[in-house]
């Protein structure tokens, strides 16, 4: 292509014709070859969209997207299957023990201080601890990146921020469809179309909240999936309206699924204070009541006592010393992880003194559990059409995104080999659609200016 560009420039420079050369098109064409010719990329996460949520409700827009692109049966999120850890895996391609965002809650085991999800967004050191999110990598390699409401957006990484960003206010209604559309208008109309961004991550807080409040099998959750479906239709319409369909790839996925919690006297709940031999007096720090996973830091010399009291104490509670955690979970090798890790089986949650968590649905369970699997769809010029592929891991999305954007990835736990079969063969990609358009425009201009040999040049 560079050869073509030079040939065109030489032809124009040496032409005897008196008509003014089409400098605008030529300089635009030249800038095209000096800049990236890769397509743009929009990464969308619908929090808690379980892999099978489209099976019990009409989803015409998601179905159309699957016809026009690729659908994975599901993706396996990293463990711990909760919002901040899993989203940071999307952004870095690293397992949770490697990127260090180990929980939605920030904590200090000495002062006992805890910060909840929203507050943690502004604790730079919580996010910036060794792994660089894709926005920063893209910016360092000359691309323009943006992020709207995606976990991690507010933080500074090695002194850099994602330059175009919107962080939600503290009390934000994550379910409001009107707001969703305003956000989409901003991302598509302003960020991609007007500001010409190359990559944007866009986050929606549903259907997670509906799944928690009403349960994954509820009519409210099904209604919210229809809202998601309408939103996907709206996004694709906006992309079409702005003429971006052939230049923008879309990945839609989620951080985790959702599982129904068993209650109402039907089951024996897990309440640590009721377990014989276990005492909170032996505990220096605890992270409990946040769903199915808890962590404990026993006081000096008490680890074995606490461990033995809890192990085997409830048929649906798995108790691990940190170093005993199954390697496949990739959730043992980080200093922020505490010495004892408790994992409840699906349907159960880990309570401390007494039950305080009354969610009808929850997540955070073992990522082998089918209820924790998330959905995955892609559409765009670089992807095949009407293709269903086998499951892969969420860590594999990062190298795919880097490949699509044409940037060199950081160290990653994911592999492009696990996703590249979704791509159209290289020579057929739409990556050069913009250049094809400009070349044809240039061809017309040259012809109108009597550059008779242009066709010959074009064939070089």
Rounded Cα distance, 370 and 36, in Å: 40
The SS3 assignment for 386 reads coil
**Considering the complex, what minimum distance in angstroms separates the CB of residue 209 from Zn ion?**
7
Q: How far is the CB of 267 from Zn ion (least distance, A)?
A: 21
DSSP letters of 22-55? Answer: -HHHHHHHHHHHHS--PPEEEEEEETT-BTTTTS
Instruction: Tell the smallest beta-carbon distance from residue 202 to Zn ion (Å).
Output: 18
User: Nearer to Zn ion by C-beta: 365 or 383?
Assistant: 365
For the record, the structure tokens of 285 come out as 């720090």
Site residues (vs Zn ion, CB under 5 A): 208
Nearer Cβ to Zn ion (208/366):
208
Q: How far is the CB of 255 from Zn ion (least distance, A)?
A: 8
* Least spacing, CB of residue 331 vs Zn ion, in Å: 18
| Closest to Zn ion by CB, 168 or 208 | 208
Nearer to Zn ion by C-beta: 208 or 396? 208
Quick check: is 83 catalytic? yes
CA 324, 329, 334, 338 dihedral sign is negative
- State in angstroms the smallest separation of the CB of 83 from Zn ion: 6
Pair 141, 409: CB distance under 8 Å: no
CA distances from 27 to 37, 435, 455 (A): 15, 12, 19
Euclidean distance between CA atoms 103 and 89, whole angstroms: 12
Residues 162, 139: contact at Cβ < 8 Å?
Answer: yes
Beta carbon nearer to Zn ion, 170 or 426: 170
Neighbours of 209 (CB within 10 A): 18
- Give the integer Cα–Cα distance in Å for 270 and 249: 45
**Is 445 buried (19+), middle (13-18) or exposed (0-12) by CB count in 10 A?**
middle
Q: Which of 83, 120, 137, 253 is catalytic?
A: 83
Please identify, using beta-carbon distances, which residue of 54 and 208 lies nearer to Zn ion: 208
Nearest one of 301, 339, 337 to 320, comparing CA atoms? 339
CA pair distance 392, 5, nearest whole angstrom: 41
Name the residues annotated as catalytic: 83
């Amino acid at each position: 292509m560079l050869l073509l560009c030079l040939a065109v420039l030489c032809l124009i420079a040496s032409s005897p014709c008196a008509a003014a050369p089409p400098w605008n098109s030529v300089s635009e064409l030249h800038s095209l070859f000096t800049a990236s010719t890769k397509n743009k990329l929009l990464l969308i996460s619908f929090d808690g969209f379980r892999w099978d949520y489209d099976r019990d409700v009409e989803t015409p827009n998601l179905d159309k997207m699957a016809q026009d692109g690729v659908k994975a049966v599901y993706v396996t999120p990293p463990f711990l299957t909760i919002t901040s850890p899993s989203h940071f895996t999307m952004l870095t391609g690293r397992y949770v023990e490697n990127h260090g965002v180990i929980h939605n809650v920030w904590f200090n085991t000495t002062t006992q201080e805890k910060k909840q999800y929203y507050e943690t967004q502004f604790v730079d050191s919580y996010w910036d601890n060794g792994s660089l999110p894709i926005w920063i990598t893209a910016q360092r390699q000359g691309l323009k990146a943006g992020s709207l409401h995606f976990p991690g957006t507010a933080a500074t990484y090695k002194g850099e921020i994602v330059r175009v960003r919107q962080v939600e206010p503290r009390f934000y209604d994550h379910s409001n469809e009107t707001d969703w559309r305003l956000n989409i208008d901003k991302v598509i109309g302003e960020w991609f179309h007007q500001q010409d961004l190359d990559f944007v991550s866009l986050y929606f807080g549903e259907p997670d909240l509906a799944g928690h409040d009403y349960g994954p099998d509820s009519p409210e959750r099904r209604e919210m999936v229809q809202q998601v479906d309408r939103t996907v239709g709206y996004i694709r319409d906006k992309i079409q309206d702005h003429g971006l369909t052939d230049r923008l790839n879309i990945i839609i996925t989620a951080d985790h699924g959702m599982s129904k919690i068993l209650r109402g006297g039907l089951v024996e709940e897990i309440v640590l204070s009721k377990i014989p031999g276990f005492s909170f007096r032996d505990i220096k720090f605890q992270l409990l009541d946040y769903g199915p996973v808890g962590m404990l830091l026993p006081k000096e010399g008490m680890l074995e006592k606490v461990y033995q009291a809890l192990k085997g104490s409830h048929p649906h509670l798995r108790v691990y010393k940190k170093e005993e955690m199954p390697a496949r979970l990739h959730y043992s090798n980080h200093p922020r992880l505490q010495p004892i890790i408790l994992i409840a089986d699906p349907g159960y949650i880990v309570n401390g003194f007494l039950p305080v968590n009354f969610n009808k649905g929850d997540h955070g369970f073992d990522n082998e559990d089918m209820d924790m699997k998330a959905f995955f769809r892609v559409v765009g010029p670089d992807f095949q059409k009407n293709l269903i592929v086998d499951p892969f891991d969420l860590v594999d999305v990062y190298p795919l995104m880097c490949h699509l954007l044409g940037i060199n990835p950081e160290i990653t736990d994911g592999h492009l080999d696990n996703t590249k079969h979704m791509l159209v063969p290289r020579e057929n990609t739409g990556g050069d659609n913009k250049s094809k358009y400009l070349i044809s425009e240039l061809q017309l201009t040259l012809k109108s200016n009597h550059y008779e040999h242009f066709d010959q040049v074009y064939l070089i």
